[in-house]
Structure 1
Amino acid sequence: MDINVRTLPSPLSAVLGKKLLLQGRKILHQQFRKNASSTALLRGYSRLVDDLLRQVWKEMALPSSISLLAVGGYGRGYLFPGSDIDLLVLLPAKGSSTDAVEDVTKSKLEKWVHLLWDIGLEVGHSVRTLAECTEESEKDITVQTSLLESRRLAGNTKLFSVFSQAMKTALNPQEFFSAKQLEQQQRHGRYHEATYNLEPNLKESPGGLRDLQNILWVSRASGHGKSWSDLVKGGFITWQEARLTKRHEMVLQDLRIRLHYLAGRREDRLLFDYQTLLAKEYKISDKPPRRAGELLMQRYYRAAKSVTQINTILLLTLRAEIFPDADLIPVIINNHFQKRGELLEVRDENIFRKDPSVILQSVLMLQKHPELKARSVTTLRALWHSTYLINSDFRRNLRNCTLFMEILCQPRGLTRELRFMSRYGILGRYIPVFGRIIGQMQHDLFHVYTVDEHTLMVVRNLRRFMASEFAHEYPLCSQLISEFDRPEMLYLAGLFHDIAKGRSGDHSLLGGKDAKRFCAQHGISVEDTELVIWLVENHLIMSATAQKQDLSDTEVIAGFAKRVRNERRLIALYLLTVADIRGTSPKVWNTWKGKLLEDLFWATRRYLCGGPNYVVGTLENRKIRILKLLQLDAIPAGAHEQLWSELDTTYLLRHDPQEIAWHTRQLYSRVNSPVPVVKARTAPAGEGVQVMIYAADQKDLFARICGFFERLNYNIVEAKIHTTHNGYALDSFLVLNPFKTVEQYRNVIH
């Protein structure tokens, strides 16, 4: 929308300016609701703000020697409804900005800014000389990027021309590319490299608008153009690829516009609260068992996935131009591939279409050759355009089945290559049921990733257990998996454990059927097939048993052991369970959960090895361990007997030997204490506080203790209640405060 500034009264009051702004925004919103053109709205809102800024600038009678520039996103001539309006007041080169601004001009600029805010324009402005702009851009890549897209709104034209030339001269394309690439890597790292977060940021998340902007920034800085059509003319992409890119860009822009309108402010996160509302705007309805919000998000995830592919390919293409390596001589690897520097390159760009099996061979090449760090842009583009060839005939081909299993068996590169295969659609086409969970939401309190992203996280965690450099994180897992025969069966269980989510029915049982078909097609032995199916069908039972049942109850252990049946299954289930919980969210795992799972693992292993004598053997072993611990603390021999005579077998089985030794140290001389004994220590596992309360039993004692912890904002994650033969309550608690560190727990105790 354009404002005819000649019809505005002078001076322009804040009231009238605000009225015009609101009126213009309303018309733009109505037009957007009618034609759903994101481009028209973004440009229209930018022009609306342009006209108001120019009119206010003109009426302030600011010196003709200075210039007003639009920078950042506003400099592109695109403005979202909730975005800031970034401005630069450019001053002549007279030393510092303080020297260059006269008192009168400074006063006018202050009034100008106040008037803009009174009108309702949320501006972010800076006042700099040409020299200061150059200096700041050299120090900060964010400033340099913002100034790269500047355009003049009002003021001195010549000064702006000098500024533009100075910015262009100061730009070093190679340094700019490296800085933007690092910036992107750091930004992706903040989102755990995951395109499929359940509440993604439309602008900043991997596959978001920023990834597309990054391409055009690099292109502009290196002199290759500032639009997708410029990149087509330069031969960097085809017209078909440019149209695809623009389509995905418009999907993200449209979502962001609607999100800003729904929130009534700048909000770039697709929070759960907005997903269903946005789905209604797109007239998307529920398709049970999937909700409308899930269907909307799957549309977003597919666009984000394509943006990630486009970003990778185009940045590599531009890098080849900015950092020419024409002198690199390719080294032939085999009939299909050659090595150029550290990149894998196809010798024939059409090889994937001629022989689709080479798609999987390319994955295997990266795994088998550690000197190869990535694929060349030629190889990536050829793969991108060939994945449609992975069809039912491809999947039935014994050669391809063998190649896929060989990929799973490789000692290195599996996590990286599975992520690559997922990103480029290879994995979803090779395992069609995996393709169905791409972008599938999970509505619960734990998962922060989509089903496919979570699945890859689980496989990553299993692989991490194999790496010696991470053995200190989960020593037991690292030890167990290093001795586990054919660990690729664990990776298959990880791939299939949630593969049936989003379908009607029990996803564990449905996933087991999918796993059975896959194993049969790939010639996996009966024994291993049964293991994979059992793991998929029962992948939730270990965490449920550990967290919801009493592990000191021998019947619980016996029942769990009967379901597990043998030690190989137990080890496999334990490894899968730890990897699964760790893959739900960076915040879900804690040492308490780890200890419960480990306790269940060891108790079940002892049961499987000891059979009917499990309880007797366990009890005697515990007593021996406890007495050894007491000896280390110089507790007199036999000092424990009076206290232990008041305890029963249930207590000795339910509590950890270290905990019993701690209780004994505190109570052996206070068995009939007339006053309560309360002791606390940091939990041996390292997280939380362990509290022991020993007092004559009385009414509502447990409830009063729980109320005390609640008032302190501590969560009780474990409570063990025991009444001694002499009528005392011996209660043990493990309490956590999610905001405290181990050091803070120590301070609380002291």
Structure 2
Amino acid sequence: MSALPEASARAPGSVAALRARFRDGKAELIGHFRNGRPTTTAARQLLKALARHVDATLADLWAHAGMPAGAALVAVGGYGRGELFPYSDVDVLVLLPADAAGGDALRASVEGFITACWDIGLEIGSSVRTLDECLEEAQRDVTVQTALLESRLICGARKLFNNFRDATTQAVDAPAFLRAKTLEMQQRHVKYEGTPYSLEPNCKESPGGLRDLQVVIWVARAAGLGRTWGELAAKGLVTPFEASQLARHEGTLKLIRARLHVVAGRREDRLVFDLQTAVAESFGYHPTKAQRSSEVLMHRYYWAAKAVAQLNQILMLNIEDRVNGSEAEPARPINERFRDRAGMLEVASDDLYLQHPDAILETFLVFAQEPGIQGLSSRTLRALYNSRSVMDGRFRRDPRNRALFMQILRQPVGLTHAFRLLNSTSVLGRYLWVFRRIVGRMQHDLFHVYTVDQHILMVLRNVRRFFIPEHAHEYPFCSRLAAHWDHPELLYIAALFHDVAKGRGGDHSELGALEVRRFCRDHGLSRPDTQLVEFLVRHHLTMSRIAQKEDLSDAEVIASFARLVGNERHLIGLYLLTVADIRGTSPRVWNAWKGKLLEDLFRLTLRALGGSHPNVDAEIEARMHEARQILALHTALPGTEEPLWRTLEVSYFARHEAADIAWHARSLWRHIETREPVVRARPSSVGDGLQVLVYSPDRPDLFARICGYFDGAGFSILDAKIHTTRAGYALDTFQVVSTRLADTSPAAYRDLIALVENQATAALSSDGPLPQPSQGRVSRRVRSFPVVPRVTLAPDERAQRWLLTVSASDRSGLLYAIARVLARHHINLQLAKITTLGERVEDTFLVDGPALQQPRTQLQIESELLDAVAAPA
């Protein structure tokens, strides 16, 4: 790091000269850092050198502005620590003596100084106060009080600064300050998702970020316990090892933040997708077949952030005990190893885990079993943190530990919290070594919004909630199934292992099945239980794929799935795990329509497993009978349905439920031979949105026109059932949702239904050329992690129709773009399965048409589809 001349050795010069000197000096420091090795030492040198450079510049400006001799310029906040990130604000206090005359000359000097700071390019945050005003403001605002704690004299009256520092230190009420900063930290953690593992973390403000370390130093300074990690170690608040770990992880976070600033060229503390790859490359990371360069960077960040979160919790509890004197409170013995101290589980001796390693897992068993325990004490957390060396291969093979782990899994209460603690204290990854490999692993599939370990714990939580009566309203059908399920721990094990092989390359389901089989063998599970858990892990994606991509009205689809699951127990377990898995990926992925598809597949398969092979004729007759009953309830005349039903194929009745069949008949009985499109809509029977019926003389571009209308009107299509009558009419039913429908009142639905019926009818009556699809904007996340578009076209199992599968990044206008290609080649659509997985789509269409019989035309269609679904530049 090149040295810069001290302020005393330089003439202040003009503001223009100072501007050039400041800009050139800062650019030199940043350039040296950018081109040098990305080490924590280099980052530390940069932050200190930038602070010194700004110090010297401010001192020159102070002299240039002719500030009074009795005033002082004080660095506060982060700048007060003597460190400055490349594009951080410079916070200063212009401290005036109590007898300073508030005349025009002083005001002009202060204004001239602050204006000059901005003129030369310093992003300054300034305040102008006397000592009494500082104390008064600090009493009102804990943020001001915090900033004043970290103060440093830049230039001016040292005596005034010393008085200021003494007065502000004495004015701090340590217990009140601790309480305020603790509440502030909790609020900040909630704002930033309460986890270090956000996919776009703020490396300053997120849990486990630099702010968590700063909070510890602030409250320690306020309590007079020290200003550095070394001083805290000397006071017994941390061990020397913990102090070294704190310094190490703090260095890592500072290095990442400094590199982030330099790469962004501005103040940017969020590791957003747009910048992750560039920052990773600035570290020298390169992509491999198994990992992106950004994944390597984020894995390093998450490990540091997780350790900071652990140490922050230990230190904050330690400081709280010291400040509030709770160390002396009596503790209630639980057993010879543990005690309850004010609702926190505490070890009886600091070396408990080193002397008795099996007590490590016993900690979490006691936590789950003792109803009054709210968490782990600082003493326990510290003992766990310092006992990682004993959690080795021998520890994992110890029969006592394996029995304890199974006991934790079998606890009727406290399981979710116990496993979150197991993960946050790093015990879970040290006991299940395979789990350790996916801690902090990102998933760039535009589907999951959590890291792999957080997703797994979310799925475990979802499965656990099926067995808790208080949550039965969330998953009514799942809760009914779970009520009759014995050995819930088998589902918990499947949840823990279903994604545990992510990131290795190869099929993670197959690899995970091998891992869970080994776990079951080591932990003494019976052969049938092992086979069940292994099946669930191997096929945890199968049920979702079939429900969302295949035709559930096809008896062979159901029979094939029934043969795969084999029995009712396997089916129930797979259904429960599938629902928990989908709901644990992202709040945006699950919807009521997906829930209905899964439940339909479950019920149809259960019936097949019971030996009731589908009798198509009997099934259709039953649906027709039920539809007639529904029509009668709506006072329809007998025979109302006959004119429509005579035109329909058997496949129509197989694909539609009785309620839909009755609605179609009621809506269309007067329009069987109409030459104009008929559009009817009603609120969806499954969740929000609308069910829309379109009846029109068929033509090749009809589906495209329908999609074009929905796209232009702001609707997303969740499902499409396409049918062509014997008379040549299209009878199509769509499940759609709209961004317009924020208000779900009956009046809002009536207005939206009227709008859809009128506008869609007009759009479908048009004979003009199909408009160009809108080049919908893709999200920032899609731009950073684009999905490679894929199109496959293959005969279905009966070789009568073709299965078209399209995978691409989601955007508005995508389905319409696909439909235009199909219309251009006169391809008939029989069925559409629209699947949106976060910001990725996996759409499946059952199609036929003469064009598909020619290999050359097939290739042309596939090529045009790839062009249509490619994300815009």
Q: TM-score, normalised by structure 2?
A: 0.80
SS in 2 for 1:611: coil
CA gap of 1:490–1:625, structure 2 versus 1, over 3 A, is farther
Q: Residues 195-215 of structure 1, C-alpha deviation per residue, up to 9 Å, x if partnerless?
A: 223332211222111111111
Other-structure match for 2:83:
78
Q: Which runs of 4+ in 1 moved over 6 A?
A: none
CA distance in 2, matches of 1:321, 1:675: 81
CA distance in 1, matches of 2:129, 2:619: 76
The answer (yes or no) to whether the contact 1:688–1:742 under 8 Å persists in 2 is: no
Question: In the alignment, residue 655 of structure 2 is paired with which amino acid?
Answer: R
User: How far has the Cα of 1:456 moved from its partner?
Assistant: 1.3
CA gap of 1:23–1:519, structure 2 versus 1, over 3 A, is same
Unaligned runs of 5+ in 2: 755-873
SS in 1 for 2:231: helix
Other-structure match for 2:652:
651
Other-structure match for 1:51:
56
1:493 maps to 2:498: no
CA gap of 1:659–1:401, structure 2 versus 1, over 3 A, is same
Greater mean alpha carbon deviation, residues 176-185 or residues 255-264: 176-185
CA distance in 1, matches of 2:605, 2:136: 66
CA distance in 1, matches of 2:472, 2:132: 53
CA distance in 2, matches of 1:351, 1:104: 69
The answer (yes or no) to whether the contact 1:693–1:731 under 8 Å persists in 2 is: yes
The answer (yes or no) to whether the contact 2:555–2:614 under 8 Å persists in 1 is: no
SS in 1 for 2:691: strand
SS in 1 for 2:672: coil
Other-structure match for 1:248:
249
Other-structure match for 1:5:
7
Q: Residues 6-62 of structure 1, C-alpha deviation per residue, up to 9 Å, x if partnerless?
A: 56555522x322221222123322443446422111111111112212221222224
Q: What pairs with 1:313-324 in structure 2 (closer than 5 Å)?
A: 313-324=314-325
User: How far has the Cα of 1:470 moved from its partner?
Assistant: 2.6
The answer (yes or no) to whether the contact 2:97–2:131 under 8 Å persists in 1 is: yes
Other-structure match for 2:731:
730
Other-structure match for 1:365:
366
SS in 2 for 1:601: helix
CA distance in 2, matches of 1:479, 1:65: 77
Other-structure match for 1:385:
386
RMSD across aligned C-alpha pairs, in angstroms?
A: 2.7
Q: What pairs with 1:600-639 in structure 2 (closer than 5 Å)?
A: 600-609=601-610, 611-613=612-614, 615-616=616-617, 618-639=619-640
The answer (yes or no) to whether the contact 2:303–2:440 under 8 Å persists in 1 is: yes
SS in 2 for 1:612: coil
User: How far has the Cα of 1:290 moved from its partner?
Assistant: 3.0
The answer (yes or no) to whether the contact 1:592–1:687 under 8 Å persists in 2 is: no
Question: In the alignment, residue 670 of structure 1 is paired with which amino acid?
Answer: H
The answer (yes or no) to whether the contact 1:91–1:100 under 8 Å persists in 2 is: no
Q: What pairs with 1:446-525 in structure 2 (closer than 5 Å)?
A: 446-525=447-526
Percentage of identical aligned residues: 48
Other-structure match for 1:662:
663
The answer (yes or no) to whether the contact 1:92–1:100 under 8 Å persists in 2 is: no
Greater mean alpha carbon deviation, residues 186-195 or residues 358-367: 186-195
CA distance in 1, matches of 2:723, 2:186: 54
1:182 maps to 2:183: yes
The answer (yes or no) to whether the contact 2:640–2:666 under 8 Å persists in 1 is: no
CA distance in 2, matches of 1:278, 1:357: 42
User: How far has the Cα of 1:423 moved from its partner?
Assistant: 2.2
Question: In the alignment, residue 14 of structure 2 is paired with which amino acid?
Answer: L
Q: Residues 292-320 of structure 1, C-alpha deviation per residue, up to 9 Å, x if partnerless?
A: 33233222222122111111111111110
CA gap of 1:637–1:115, structure 2 versus 1, over 3 A, is farther
CA distance in 2, matches of 1:172, 1:295: 44
SS in 1 for 2:502: coil
CA distance in 2, matches of 1:34, 1:25: 15
The answer (yes or no) to whether the contact 1:84–1:122 under 8 Å persists in 2 is: yes
CA distance in 1, matches of 2:22, 2:146: 28
CA distance in 1, matches of 2:484, 2:178: 45
CA distance in 2, matches of 1:65, 1:286: 58
Question: In the alignment, residue 506 of structure 2 is paired with which amino acid?
Answer: G
CA gap of 1:509–1:203, structure 2 versus 1, over 3 A, is same
Q: What pairs with 1:130-209 in structure 2 (closer than 5 Å)?
A: 133-134=134-135, 136-155=137-156, 157=158, 160-161=161-162, 163-209=164-210
CA distance in 2, matches of 1:314, 1:48: 34
State the number of aligned residues: 745
CA gap of 1:63–1:430, structure 2 versus 1, over 3 A, is same
Other-structure match for 2:711:
710
User: How far has the Cα of 1:572 moved from its partner?
Assistant: 1.3
SS in 2 for 1:44: helix
CA gap of 1:11–1:376, structure 2 versus 1, over 3 A, is same
SS in 2 for 1:722: coil
CA distance in 2, matches of 1:725, 1:134: 87
The answer (yes or no) to whether the contact 1:606–1:614 under 8 Å persists in 2 is: no
The answer (yes or no) to whether the contact 2:12–2:18 under 8 Å persists in 1 is: no
CA distance in 2, matches of 1:664, 1:105: 87
SS in 2 for 1:665: helix
SS in 2 for 1:82: coil
The answer (yes or no) to whether the contact 1:681–1:690 under 8 Å persists in 2 is: yes
CA distance in 2, matches of 1:568, 1:455: 22
1:267 maps to 2:272: no
The answer (yes or no) to whether the contact 2:72–2:96 under 8 Å persists in 1 is: yes
Question: In the alignment, residue 299 of structure 1 is paired with which amino acid?
Answer: R
Higher-helix-fraction structure? 1
Question: In the alignment, residue 93 of structure 2 is paired with which amino acid?
Answer: L
Other-structure match for 1:118:
119
Q: What pairs with 1:403-414 in structure 2 (closer than 5 Å)?
A: 403-414=404-415
Q: TM-score, normalised by structure 1?
A: 0.93
1:18 maps to 2:23: no
The answer (yes or no) to whether the contact 1:687–1:742 under 8 Å persists in 2 is: no
